[in-house]
Structure 1
Amino acid sequence: MDGKARISRITVLSALSMLLIVAIVRLVIDLTSEPEPQPFERDYDGIAESRTLNVALSENATEYCIYNATPRGFQLETLEDFCREHNLELNIIPIKNELSADILLAVGMCDIIAKHTFITDSTMSQPLLGSNLVTLKRTKTLPDTIFATGTHNFYSKYNEKTIICLDSISQEKIARKVASGEINAAICDSALALTYQKAYPRLEIDTSICISQKIVWKTHPEAKVLRDSINSWLASKIETKKYKLRHEIYYSYININVSSQYYSGNGNKISAYDDLIRKHSKKLQWDWRYIASLIYEESHFYPNISNPSGAYGLMQLMPAAYRKFAHDSADISNPEVQLMAGIKHVDYLRKHTPESITDTSVIIRYVLMGYNAGHGHSEDAFHLAEKYSDNPNSWHNLAEYMSLLYDRNYYTDKVVKCGKYKGSRTVAFTNSVVDRYKHYRNLIDE
């Protein structure tokens, strides 16, 4: 090997060695230096982009429940108002205790915890309202042992009384244990205690242990914009008549009977027709709670109701639909006949859904849209989305073009076969059925 070749080889090796040294130095710097801070993904902008606000919320008679087939609760209705005014979809994550909620918040699986607290900090909104913890009891005198939820675990002794904290249990369940006689006394929110006392008059409320607390919305420490948005919105609402009336309904008037079989805290009944709905929904391979929500939207579970256009029964079918989906000799005043015919109609619409729609949630919305508007109008919305190069398999696009069927520029289009239609009402109908279903899914077992 001549001298030039050796020099060239040495030069190459030196260059490679230098590159290796540089790479090692960079690695050491990367390992020892502080990482560049990344923006928090679930602050307000990220939430707005996703169009969904995820909220951890406890089930109880004052905050979130199903009563007489209707989603109810002070927190629920206030959160719905916030989402409506910020163009967000509300996704409720039901929780058993606040410890599990804190974990969800820390890992980014929820954006807000709607909670009761004794101590506020910078992660919490301004208080929505104040309340007190009191003792719900079965005995005239306060027993020596009182139960509480795990969130009150810093109380072990109070006025010589022993406080036993039960982990993984909600205030609702601990109040129910007092009502059933399983325990003699429990610490719970004053409004919840009043609700149970109204349903079970033999129960008493003791205020010798009375602890003030606040109801707040807790956010992730880095979600400053979301927190500011919440505080600004709350400041504009708290003194309004609507807000004050809602507070009175849930914390003073107390019009929810927690002993009712149609209260979600007592079990799994939505209506008197649940078993029939379960039975006939199997043919669809749909969650029966979708059909229950559809029936509520149509008739509020009244089997003899009719409207001026001629629709009749639980599922508000027109006479032509009964002729098509029920036997000629069938008694359409029979709720089961109404259900069978209605579910056959839903199945017909499902089978005529475009094959390109494969997302189950979009299929269900497309079917509901056709149930309300007629199959022809839902087809028109689909074909408009196709024509204008918007994905027709997206619910967002289908809803947009359904609403545009009231616009002359669209209902006169050649692809539209069924003409002008006020589709915004159908979009609202569909969203209402789906939103209610989500609450049924959260609080009523399958």
Structure 2
Amino acid sequence: MSRAALVTLAALLLGSCAPPPPRERPDLVAALGDLEMVRERGVLRVLVPALREKSLPRQGHPATEDREMARVFAARLGVRAEFISVDSRTDLLTLLEQGYGDIVTAQLTVTAGRQKRVRFTRPTASVSEWLVGRRGAVSLPRSVVDLDYREIHVRPSSAFAETIKNLARQTGIDVRIVPVDEELDTETIAYEVSQGRRPLTVVDDNLLTSIESYNEDIERLFVLAEGRQLAWAVHQDAENLGSAANSFIIEHYLTGHRREDHSTGDLGVIRERGSLRVLTLNNPVNYFLYRGRMKGFDYEVSKMAAVRLGVRLEMVVPPRRDLIFDWLLEGRADLIASTLSVTPERQETLAFSRPYLFIQEMVVQSANAAAPISDVSELEGRQIHAWASSSHYETLVKLRDAGGGFEIVPVPEDMEFEEILDRVASGEFSLGVVDSHILSAELAFRDDVTIAFALEYPPPPPEDQHTVLARDKAVAFAVRPGNIELRAFLDDFVRDIRGTLEYNDARRRYFEDNRGLDRVKERRAAVSGRLSPYDELFKLYSKRYDLDWRLMAAQAYQESRFDPRAESWAGAVGLFQLLPSTAHELGSSDPRDPESSIHGGIKYMYLLLERQDERIPLKHRLRFALAAYNAGWGHVADARRLAAEKGWDQNKWFGHTEKAMLLLRDPRYYRRARHGYVRGFEPVNYVSQIQNTYDHYVTLVRP
């Protein structure tokens, strides 16, 4: 019996044991299962509270953000998100338990009671619960003692009711909970309070911020509870789906700086941001991962530019090559570096730098072609395949319109040149077009395709009248036309690097001495999905401790470059560079053994993460945990205290606590720090490098 048939049979058997759907929801079908069943079904069933009325979606509204996150999560899984609206919030977890949905994304507060029923993910938010009333109302309570003999209106099933009961038990105040219809959402209850229909209620601060943007009649009174964790929920037995959701949530928040920045500013904005965002493509020439390291000709040239600017490099890879121009104009990146040819058509919307490479567009055919061709005139009646977004296509259209009787067949925009060459070699594509620098690299280790001729428009004159086979095409950086300063910087940069040892070495390695390119192609992450020889161990123990395996791989790479024999001057050893004493405390029998080291390192990261104040958002806790792994928790605590003294945000790492960490090298500061001197640049560089590596890993490798 096939795997698909077994999954279907399991679903039927499980469904037959499940309770019937609620009478008001005969459309629902029960199917208990894990990630494998979701992928087999092709749909992620997302349970969400029903919207009470049509309303204007507001940026920053938690419900809107959670739905969008769920859509992206489903897409990452390779399935479609199907939202199942539930009228009563009390039914959300019940329907999940019974198998009528796969996941709940409803700003659920994690409570001990709920944890007995479902499996929660890593938090999507850490919030404070605020008591609110109508602005200007008489005798509004301003502290807990003022709540004696007051009424607070909340849903009985909500975490707010639990908070109020705990508060009354701890303080002895006589506060009354007035139950609200379970079908009313918090925003509606808050609105009724603002209109004087109810006296008081409780709202999470992330939702309250959204409400305050349009309702001036609601007033914050005081905080009832801090550090409440909001999370998604899956069935207790859906371990793999929960693990996939954890990886996605960590990625979502740790890389949010890339997703949220759509700035179109010039060079000054790039310097202020501290990063150069470069659009490129993932292939063995432009940009790829090899044994955990970033590689590629355009990556290396872009890295040179970022170093000259004194900023960090961020590579941005769209899912299809035809999006690369729109993404630049939308502000998702600062420039394009993907061996992009300069054409008149492209110059209508983009500005190009001085060329840093010259290429030709080569028509290729199978080495076993029955009727090989060697001239453009022989294209008559033939089909030739090319990306519609490419300069190849533009050249072919001009040749065809000038009288060439051939057919241009667009290839999918997410197909890479390797597959085009494979299909030409097999005869599936009769002809294709590939740039000369790429073809040169490919022909070093394959002989199943040959060059037919170089494309040129206007076509060359008869052979006895022309002296060049084809006009070289310029390859340059592309920027937005208004970014004049960036373009000038790139012009100067290209002028200075061309002919240098560093540039020539990169060109030689990728286009001339490419003996190792076949191994790179086999092992690069986009093809193999692997970052290291230890990926399965990273996945196993990251899943156990609810972490993203790619983040743990990035940390191990920073620690040891994936070398299990690595040993530091301080005696730390193995992939995660554990001190023998630390390894012993963690139960790691041999830190030189890859599995033992990976288990110990990830467990240590988990412990550092869990010891922190839950009021700190997850992404900042992760960065503090990384800093503590490198420098020790005591030094991180000192840096957070110093950050608060300086007026910086002690709950954020980048731009705040990291600045304080650097000051702890100075006697004026470390002499009054509890844990004394620390080489602050080391944890600062450590966190930054891991964040940068992780950004690259999530760009190219799915969880």
Task: Please give the TM-score of this superposition, normalised by the length of structure 1.
Answer: 0.81
Match of 2:685 among 428, 434, 445: 428
Matched, 1:249 2:513: no
Equivalent residues in 2 for 1:291-370 (5 A)? 291-326=552-587, 330-358=589-617, 360-370=618-628
Distance 2:694 2:572 in 1: 23
Q: Which residue is 1:208 aligned to?
A: 453
State which of 348, 351, 356 in structure 2 corresponds to 1:123.
Answer: 351
Task: Report if aligned partners of 1:105, 1:219 keep a CA contact under 8 Å in 2.
Answer: yes
Q: Which residue of 1 aligns with 2:393?
A: 153
Question: CA offsets, 1:380-399, max 9 Å, x none?
Answer: 22222122222222312222
Shift of 1:344: 0.8
Tell me the distance in 2 between the aligned counterparts of 1:317 and 1:177.
Answer: 46
Distance (Å, rounded) in 2 between the aligned partners of 1:277 and 1:293: 10
Letter matched to residue 453 of structure 2 = S
Quote how far apart the aligned CAs of 1:260 are. Answer: 4.9
2:520 and 2:681 map into 1 onto residues whose CA distance is: 39
Q: Does residue 701 of structure 2 align to residue 444 of structure 1?
A: yes
Structure 2: which amino acid aligns with 1:128? Y
Question: Is the 8 Å Cα contact of residues 171 and 189 (structure 1) preserved in structure 2?
Answer: no
**Aligned residue number for residue 485 of structure 2:** 225
Q: Distance in 1 between matches of 2:547 and 2:425?
A: 35
Aligned to 2:300: 77
Distance 1:75 1:396 in 2: 29
CA deviation string 1:356-389 (max 9, x = no partner): 531x333222211111222222222222212222
Native 8 Å contact 1:145 1:161 kept in 2: yes
Paired AA for residue 694 in structure 2: Y
Match of 1:16 in 2: none
Secondary structure of the corresponding residue to residue 257 of structure 1: helix
Residue type of the alignment partner of 1:426? P
* Alpha-carbon separation, structure 1, partners of 2:564 and 2:421: 33
Unaligned runs of 5+ residues in structure 1 are 1-39
Contact 2:302 2:337 in 1 (8 A): no
Q: Which residue of 2 aligns with 1:113?
A: 336
SS in structure 2 opposite 1:214?
strand
Which amino acid in the other structure matches residue 625 of structure 2?
V
Query: Normalising to structure 2: TM-score of the pair?
Result: 0.53
After TM superposition, give the deviation of residue 355 of structure 1 in Å. 4.3
What is the DSSP-based 3-state SS (H/G/I as helix, E as strand, rest coil) of the residue aligned with 1:441? helix
Contact 2:441–2:510 (CA<8 Å) still a contact in 1? no
Matched, 1:379 2:637: yes
The structure 2 residue matched to 1:266, chosen from 500, 524, 527, is 527
- 1:92 Cα deviation after fit: 2.0
Contact residue 73 and residue 250 of structure 1 kept, 8 A: yes
Q: CA deviation at 1:183?
A: 4.2
Output the CA distance in 2 between the equivalents of 1:189 and 1:247. 15
* In 2: Cα distance, 1:172 partner to 1:396 partner: 41
Shift of 1:168: 1.4
1:408 Cα shift? 1.9
**1:207, distance to aligned residue in structure 2 (A):** 5.3
Count of residue correspondences = 401
Q: Supply the AA of the counterpart residue of 1:124.
A: F
Q: In 1, are the aligned partners of 2:364 and 2:452 still within 8 Å (CA)?
A: no
Residue 478 of structure 2: SS of its match in structure 1?
Answer: strand
Q: CA deviation at 1:44?
A: 2.2
The Cα of 1:177 is off from its aligned counterpart by 3.4
Displacement of 1:334: 3.6
**Residue identity opposite 1:347 in structure 2:** Y
Distance 1:243 1:425 in 2: 30
Match for 1:314: what amino acid? Answer: L
One-letter code of the match for 1:92?
A: M
- Native 8 Å contact 1:262 1:269 kept in 2: yes
* Alpha-carbon distance in 1 for matches of 2:383, 2:684: 54
Helix, strand or coil at the partner of 2:278:
strand
Deviation at 1:353, TM superposition (A): 3.2
- The code of the aligned residue for 1:186 comes to G
Structure 1 residues 332 and 179, CA, compared in 2 at 3 Å: closer, same or farther? farther
Deviation of the 1:112 alpha carbon: 1.2
- Residue identity in the other structure for 1:337: S
Check conservation: 2:424, 2:449, Cα contact below 8 A.
no
Q: C-alpha displacement at 1:261, in angstroms?
A: 4.1
Preserved contact between residue 61 and residue 195 of structure 1 (Cα < 8 Å): no
Shift of 1:196: 2.8
C-alpha distance in 2, partners of 1:99/1:397? 39
Matches of 1:326 and 1:184, distance apart in 2: 60
Q: 1:193 aligns with which of 439, 454, 459?
A: 439
Q: Distance in 2 between the 1:276 and 1:184 partners?
A: 44
Report what 1:405 is aligned to: 664
- Residue pairs, 1:11-50, within 5 angstroms: 42-50=265-273
d(CA) in 1 for partners of 2:284 and 2:558? 22
2:649 is equivalent to residue 391 of structure 1 = yes
In the superposition, relative to structure 1, how do residues 205 and 176 fare at CA in structure 2: closer, same or farther (>3 Å)?
closer
Match of 1:94 in 2: 317
Contact map agreement 1:381 1:401 (CA 8 A) in 2: yes
For 1:380 and 1:170, the matched residues in 2 are separated by 51
Choose the corresponding residue for 2:413, options 168, 185, 192.
168
Closer/same/farther in 2, CA of residues 134 and 86 from structure 1, 3 Å limit: same
Is 2:279 the counterpart of 1:56? yes
Shift, 1:84, TM fit: 2.9
Aligned to 1:36: none
Counterpart of 1:336, as a letter, is E
> Gaps (5+ residues) in structure 2?
1-262, 374-381, 457-471
Displacement of 1:67 after TM fit?
A: 1.1
Counterpart code for 1:129: L
> Contact 1:175 / 1:193 at 8 angstroms: preserved in 2?
no
Q: Distance in 1 between matches of 2:642 and 2:591?
A: 37
Out of 115, 128, 134, the residue aligned to residue 362 of structure 2 is: 134
The answer as to whether partners of 2:441 and 2:512 remain within 8 angstroms in 1 is no
| 1:263 Cα deviation from its structure 2 partner | 1.0
Could you tell me how far 1:350 is from its partner in structure 2?
A: 0.9
Distance across 1 between alignment mates of 2:675 and 2:432: 61
1:35-83 C-alpha deviation (Å, 9 max, x unpaired):
xxxxx95222333333333322111112100112111112112222322
| SS of structure 2 residue aligned to 1:271 | coil
Query: The residue matched to 2:367 in structure 1 has which SS?
Result: coil
What is the aligned partner in structure 2 of residue 280 from structure 1?
A: 541
More displaced 10-residue stretch of structure 1: 295-304 or 254-263: 254-263
Give the drift of 1:153: 2.2
**Counterpart of 1:366 in 2: which secondary structure?**
helix
Measured at CA, do residues 119 and 407 of structure 1 come closer, stay the same or move farther in structure 2, by a change above 3 Å?
same
